[in-house]
Structure 1
Amino acid sequence: MAESSSSSSSPTEEIVRLIKRISGYVAFKMSTLFSTPIRNLDSRSIGAIAGLAIAVIFTWRAIRRQPGEQAQRRRPKRTLQSAESSTSASAAADFTPHEEDSGVGDVVDHFFQSGKPTLGQIVRQRLSEGRKVTCRLLGVILEETSPEELQKQATVRSSVIEVLLEITKCCDLYLMERVLDDESEAKVLQALETAGVFTSGGLVKDKVLFCSTEIGRSSFVRQLEPDWHIDTNPEISTQLARFIKFQLHVSAAKPERTAPNVFSSQSIEQFFGCA
């Protein structure tokens, strides 16, 4: 008799176990999703959460209409409430992605999948919806780090192209650099064209600016009045801190933050979470 009762379970127990698995997985996914501040969630993320909530509610109502409903009502409420309260208190802590019932995880993953931000959404969020960006070329867009190197060649960093194209979709982007001769300008423009930077329509050759001094680049930035400026020269970042809303200082060695509105990163790919 004892063996028979242990091998079979009532509909209520099956429901409770199912709810535990679903709620545990939902708690796990929600804790991951909300590691990002709520204010940064977009409409797709919020829609995914709302859709999941609605699905759970209708699933629960459908279960309650099953023949086992009468059996649930006859069972002591104290036992069911105890199971539910213990579920909500320990689901997130006890759940791991490697539990035996992967089917529940697959269903919940379907709802959360559409809530993952795209690179374009991340770019807009990180730029605080800025509309104009200025960026130097050497050490940020190009492999080369000095004007002297540009006299020999210009090479666009392949890892930066995707981020660059996303910026051009939401911002008015201007690229600028100090060069020593006209041949260097031609090499830079050819490298950008070969990399496909001009194909998206967001960036044109007229928005690639050249000057002969560092002061000239700083002057370009002040005249354009961007929301963001990206540079590798700490002196320029310090000089522009009073005039530009936000800046990104790109440096292999993380420097001390010179002003509250000046951020730092080893690359713009890393800044946007692509590295």
Structure 2
Amino acid sequence: MAESSSSSPSEEIVRLIKRLSSYVAFKMSSLFSTPIRNLDSRSIGAIAGLAIAVIFTWRAIRTQPGETQRRRPKRRLQSPESSSAAPDEDNGVQDVVDQFFHPGKPTLGQIVRQRLSEGRKVTCRLLGVILEESSPEELQVKQATVRSSVMEVLLEITKSCDLYLMERVVDDESEAKVLQALETAGIFTSGGLVKDKVLFCSTEVGRTSFVRQLEPDWHIDTNPEITTQLARFIKFQLHVSAAKPERTVPNVFTSQSIEQFFGCP
């Protein structure tokens, strides 16, 4: 949509300041509640730093639209809502806020966006990546369990990407167990994921078909055959495996877990 590009500079700076304020309000509330005469040099420096952050963000927003348009994949179809510049502006503001409060140290959110090359859609299988269980047969004999170590990364992905989870199951009971495990872990309440974006199929071919239809920027899987088949259709893939495969292609990365891929301990 061209609406955001036609806005006047004054309108854009007002919108930017409002977005920035929403991110830092809860962190700065105690600082601003203190009388000016009682503020120490560190607090005054924090206020000055915030002002500088707003200025640099404004300058960055003014120079980004052309670059973003050149990097956008041509084959990806977008709805009118998703074509808005708002998500990109949110990420830009978040990066400035992160740098302000954690100078010199990238946050997990920044690392996730950088490693995903600013990808906007991600598909990911559940077994062996999000869940402790590694096969559909295991889901038949016990309850599904979400790996606690993956939650932080998963929630960061949902903040900047359209995430779809998928899995092959052998019965309806297994499907119900997976949804219950995800709900218990708080993925549907804490992140941007909804149940409609958790997809199930009865064959591995079905999962491959899901990925092809969704056309993500990234796909995460444990099956080397699927990653090989999708390599020429999907821009990037992450193959989660304890052992490094003998053959690799340039757009397929390998890691023991998605936490390790994003540098989490």
With normalisation by structure 1, the TM-score equals 0.60
**CA offset digits 1:253-272 (Å, max 9, x no partner):** 12234210000000000000
Q: Report if aligned partners of 2:240, 2:258 keep a CA contact under 8 Å in 1.
A: yes
Q: Return closer, same or farther for 1:189/1:227 CA change in 2, 3 Å cut-off.
A: same
Q: Return closer, same or farther for 1:18/1:177 CA change in 2, 3 Å cut-off.
A: closer
Post-superposition shift, 1:147?
0.3
- How far apart are the structure 2 equivalents of 1:226 and 1:20? 31
**CA offset digits 1:153-212 (Å, max 9, x no partner):** 200000000000000000000000000000000000000000011113510000000000
- How far apart are the structure 2 equivalents of 1:243 and 1:76? 13
Query: Highest Rg: 1 or 2?
Result: 1
**Which stretch has the larger CA shift, 28-37 or 210-219?**
28-37
**Which stretch has the larger CA shift, 163-172 or 255-264?**
255-264
**Which stretch has the larger CA shift, 212-221 or 109-118?**
109-118
Q: Report if aligned partners of 2:238, 2:254 keep a CA contact under 8 Å in 1.
A: yes
Q: Return closer, same or farther for 1:249/1:27 CA change in 2, 3 Å cut-off.
A: same
Post-superposition shift, 1:234?
0.2
**Which stretch has the larger CA shift, 188-197 or 44-53?**
44-53
Q: Which residue of 1 aligns with 2:192?
A: 202
Post-superposition shift, 1:65?
39
**CA offset digits 1:213-234 (Å, max 9, x no partner):** 0000000000000000000000
Q: Which residue of 1 aligns with 2:261?
A: 271
Post-superposition shift, 1:115?
2.4
Structure 1 runs (4+) greater than 4 angstroms displaced: 6-69, 71-86, 90-94, 100-113
Task: Report SS of the residue matched to 1:199.
Answer: helix
**Which stretch has the larger CA shift, 134-143 or 101-110?**
101-110
- How far apart are the structure 2 equivalents of 1:266 and 1:74? 30
Task: Report SS of the residue matched to 1:108.
Answer: helix
Q: CA RMSD in A?
A: 20.0
Q: Report if aligned partners of 1:48, 1:115 keep a CA contact under 8 Å in 2.
A: no
Q: Return closer, same or farther for 1:196/1:55 CA change in 2, 3 Å cut-off.
A: closer
Q: Which residue of 1 aligns with 2:183?
A: 193
**Which stretch has the larger CA shift, 174-183 or 77-86?**
77-86
Identity of aligned residues (%): 91
Task: Report SS of the residue matched to 1:19.
Answer: helix
Stretches of structure 2 that go unaligned for 5 or more consecutive residues are none
- How far apart are the structure 2 equivalents of 1:59 and 1:204? 31
- How far apart are the structure 1 equivalents of 2:241 and 2:138? 18
Q: Return closer, same or farther for 1:110/1:9 CA change in 2, 3 Å cut-off.
A: same
With normalisation by structure 2, the TM-score equals 0.62
Q: Which residue of 1 aligns with 2:76?
A: 79
Q: Return closer, same or farther for 1:38/1:66 CA change in 2, 3 Å cut-off.
A: same
